[in-house]
Amino acid sequence: MPQYTDLSVGDVVVTRDLTLTRDSLVRYAGASLDFNPIHYRDDVAQSVGLPGVLAHGMLTMGAAASPVAEWIGASGIIVDYQSRFTKPVPVDATEGAQVSVTATVGKLDDEAQEARIDLKVVFNEQTVLGKSQVVVRFTKGDL
């Protein structure tokens, strides 16, 4: 279980490779009610100039934060999350899309017992989320 006092700016707290599949997109579309056909039909995506089906931006953003949520566990809570979409994530029908996440301590606030965790989110050697930051607050005692 992570402890606030064990952290230093620059520490990598978690790395994870995530696979987004067409099945992931279907499930997300159902949960979010975002049925834009660029997320499930190659012909529609290509007709508007895209390389093919793209992952939903919010799916990518949520998936990128999940390793931080798992890392913090019962030690704290996520109090803020922000990100900018910089590149789309095409999802191949057969192989899906591999997205790599590296979470690094960017800032510590001793008074609030908060850590800003900076995310580097990469697909195909390109950053797909910019200024992606998760703020976690460490709790004292039970939640």
User: What's the CA gap between 42 and 30, in Å, rounded?
Assistant: 18
Structural domain boundaries, residue 87: 4-138
More confident residue, 143 or 61: 61
- In the chain, the amino acid numbered 77 is I
User: What's the CA gap between 132 and 135, in Å, rounded?
Assistant: 10
Interval 117-140: pLDDT, tens: 999 999 999 999 999 999 999 997
Q: What is the CATH number of the domain that holds 86?
A: 3.10.129.10
Do 29 and 40 meet the contact criterion of CB atoms below 8 Å apart?
yes
Do 103 and 67 meet the contact criterion of CB atoms below 8 Å apart?
yes
Q: How many domains does the chain have?
A: 1
56 domain residue, yes or no: yes
Interval 38-47: pLDDT, tens: 999 999 999 9
H-state helical runs in the chain: 22-32, 42-47, 57-72
85 domain residue, yes or no: yes
Tokens of 89: 């994530």
User: What's the CA gap between 95 and 38, in Å, rounded?
Assistant: 18
Q: Is the pTM of this model over 0.95?
A: no
pLDDT at position 141 over 60: no
User: What's the CA gap between 15 and 104, in Å, rounded?
Assistant: 9
143 domain residue, yes or no: no
User: What's the CA gap between 42 and 1, in Å, rounded?
Assistant: 43
User: What's the CA gap between 24 and 61, in Å, rounded?
Assistant: 13
DSSP state for residue 142 in the 8-state scheme: -
